[in-house]
Structure 1
Amino acid sequence: MAHSFNVYIDESGDDGMANFRQVGVGGGASQWLAIGACIVRANRDLDLVALRDRIKAECRPNSQRRDIHFKDFNHNQKRRACQIIAGQPLRFSCVLGLKNTPNAATFVEKNQLYFYLTRFLIERVSWFCREMRPTVQEGNGMAKITFSRRGGLSYDGFKGYLELLRDKVETQIHWPVIDIDAVAAQDHSRLAALQIADCGVSAIAAALEPDIYGNVEHSYLHEIAGNIYHKGGNYLSYGLKTLPPLDQAGLSQSQAFGFQRFR
């Protein structure tokens, strides 16, 4: 039987753990690594193609490419893309890890931080699918997870990581909805759904990751607030999880302001 949910995972930032970006200086590693998911009912998957095409038509009408990438948009286009996504029948969940901390320095192995953050994301994806199952009767109740392909990451290795978590590590993942065997990766350009995931994750990350001038932009996050997974108004345990928690992350005034409505 077909899956009930499709989950598309993308990232914003990098997993570099040294030479962090400084205000006024180009280059350098990002302060945050954000890994997030766009979750949609499987029978609405094709709607994301139309959604991507609308964003492209309004924000990049002269581009010869059909695919979109949030980083290629200017500020007004980014905000418009988020306005187009707002209210659509999809949900975002995102886990954001602050790398420039003493605790983060323990993640020294390749992809270690990526796997760690994704573990918390899969938890939240599983909770959402479990909660939605009573109203999503089609399919087998499980989620098919597709990553946006990134260099240097073994997706068979990630399947093995999930199997290890399932069999030997106590987690809060609701395993009955996670189809480990179906975990896959596709190129960003091939799937409209991954491009929508990119928009959502990048929009959220922009509220925490400073640009070269030290500024953050929270208007994108606020535009898609209605699409972020929450439970009873609790966003920070569900659709928006930060490591460390926001009150321990040494946020600037602007960063803290952007998240006030989600507290």
Structure 2
Amino acid sequence: MQTGYLAFIDEAGDDGLRQIKSDGTRGASEWLVMSALLVRADKASEVPNWGWDIINKIDQHQLSHLHYLRLNQNKRLIACEALADLPVRIFVLLSNKKNMQGYRNTRAEKAKINRTAWFYCWVSKLLMERVTKYCARRTLKDYGEIRSLNVIFSDRGGVNLNDISSYYSYIKWQSENERLFRPEFDLNWSVIDTNNFEIHPNKMKIGLQLADIAASSFFNGLELNAMQATNPEPAKRLLPRMALAETGRTFGFGVKLMPVWKIDKLHPQQKLLLDFYKEK
């Protein structure tokens, strides 16, 4: 099947669940944010130039690659505004880990599926539910036929391509054999194939660096710093590129919060970004 789209997947935060930091205590990040930057295949050759254009706009010519967390506040705003001008669609999955502290997925362990990386893969699956649905909806309009999705993951410790491919092969088997616990949350398998998965170091792919802008800006808008504050403004600038559901809504589709809490339960600083997007 001919390729129609590329999805660059990156994340901010960590996938640790043993001890989640809270109220100034040390531990793993409270949030794991995973992003997908979706690009039409016929635009793929333009992606490197997009990255260099952003580097020029933030006047960081000495950089060999983009790294959002190394930018100051003004340059983060510029980077997000520049990303919002590009012909891409952005998806973010916002996972608050407090309710999962110490959790073990015994079913995954028994199945020997991603024993070291199951949480990362599970979060990526929640993200890909929306990405595949969007591509399946768009492909006939864009190309007049079903075209496949290539997925490029950012390399990270503890997760390898075999882990990811095995996980997706397993949930595809569950789907085909009607074994899914929640079939309404299945992927659209017409556009995705594990043979089209890749994994690369972030610095080697501009598309992954652009996905990092999305993931890290949302992470900074949610994760409390040492002063118990957040920085939501850059992530707000991405609104024009956030993916829309068929209903025209962004929240719950292009921006998905897990678990589905009442936002009122979160810290006031964390609510600043979510209150902005929940109306979109």
TM-score normalised per structure 2: 0.86
Q: Which moved more, 1:189-198 or 1:54-63?
A: 54-63
CA contact (8 A) 1:149 1:186 kept: yes
User: How many Å apart are 1:156 and its aligned residue?
Assistant: 1.4
Q: Which moved more, 1:216-225 or 1:242-251?
A: 242-251
Name the counterpart of 2:75. Answer: 77
CA contact (8 A) 2:84 2:240 kept: yes
CA contact (8 A) 1:95 1:241 kept: yes
Q: Return the alpha-carbon distance in structure 2 between the equivalents of residues 96 and 226 of structure 1.
A: 18
Q: Return the alpha-carbon distance in structure 1 between the equivalents of residues 128 and 82 of structure 2.
A: 26
What is the identity, as a one-letter code, of the residue corresponding to 2:55?
K
- Cα RMSD for the two superposed structures: 2.1
CA contact (8 A) 1:39 1:90 kept: yes
- Residue 100 of structure 2 corresponds to residue 86 of structure 1: no
Q: Return the alpha-carbon distance in structure 2 between the equivalents of residues 24 and 104 of structure 1.
A: 16
Could you say if the C-alpha distance between residues 104 and 95 of structure 1 is closer, same or farther in structure 2, counting changes exceeding 3 Å?
A: farther
Name the counterpart of 1:30. Answer: 29
User: How many Å apart are 1:80 and its aligned residue?
Assistant: 0.6
Q: How does 1:1-263 map to 2 (within 5 A)?
A: 1-21=1-21, 28-63=27-62, 65-101=63-99, 103-107=100-104, 109-137=115-143, 141-168=147-174, 169=180, 170=183, 171-231=185-245, 232-247=247-262, 250-263=265-278
Q: Return the alpha-carbon distance in structure 2 between the equivalents of residues 58 and 37 of structure 1.
A: 23
Task: Tell me the secondary structure at the aligned position of residue 55 of structure 2.
Answer: helix
Q: Which moved more, 1:47-56 or 1:5-14?
A: 47-56
TM-score normalised per structure 1: 0.91
What is the identity, as a one-letter code, of the residue corresponding to 1:110?
T
Q: Return the alpha-carbon distance in structure 1 between the equivalents of residues 132 and 197 of structure 2.
A: 14
Task: Tell me the secondary structure at the aligned position of residue 136 of structure 1.
Answer: helix
What is the identity, as a one-letter code, of the residue corresponding to 2:268?
Q
Q: Which moved more, 1:246-255 or 1:140-149?
A: 246-255
Q: Return the alpha-carbon distance in structure 2 between the equivalents of residues 66 and 140 of structure 1.
A: 37
Gaps of 5+ in 1: none
CA contact (8 A) 1:4 1:139 kept: no
Task: Tell me the secondary structure at the aligned position of residue 179 of structure 1.
Answer: strand
CA contact (8 A) 2:136 2:146 kept: no
Percent of pairs identical after alignment? 22
What is the identity, as a one-letter code, of the residue corresponding to 2:71?
F
Residues 193-237 of structure 1 show CA distances to partners (whole Å, capped at 9, x for unaligned) of: 111011111112222111221111111111001111122342232
Q: Return the alpha-carbon distance in structure 2 between the equivalents of residues 216 and 90 of structure 1.
A: 26
CA contact (8 A) 2:9 2:152 kept: yes
User: How many Å apart are 1:24 and its aligned residue?
Assistant: 5.7
Could you say if the C-alpha distance between residues 24 and 81 of structure 1 is closer, same or farther in structure 2, counting changes exceeding 3 Å?
A: same
Q: Return the alpha-carbon distance in structure 1 between the equivalents of residues 101 and 141 of structure 2.
A: 39
Q: Return the alpha-carbon distance in structure 1 between the equivalents of residues 144 and 70 of structure 2.
A: 37
Task: Tell me the secondary structure at the aligned position of residue 173 of structure 1.
Answer: coil
Q: Return the alpha-carbon distance in structure 1 between the equivalents of residues 248 and 123 of structure 2.
A: 23
Gaps of 5+ in 2: 106-114, 175-179
Q: Return the alpha-carbon distance in structure 2 between the equivalents of residues 210 and 224 of structure 1.
A: 20
Q: Return the alpha-carbon distance in structure 1 between the equivalents of residues 9 and 210 of structure 2.
A: 10
Q: Return the alpha-carbon distance in structure 2 between the equivalents of residues 220 and 233 of structure 1.
A: 22
What is the identity, as a one-letter code, of the residue corresponding to 2:269?
S
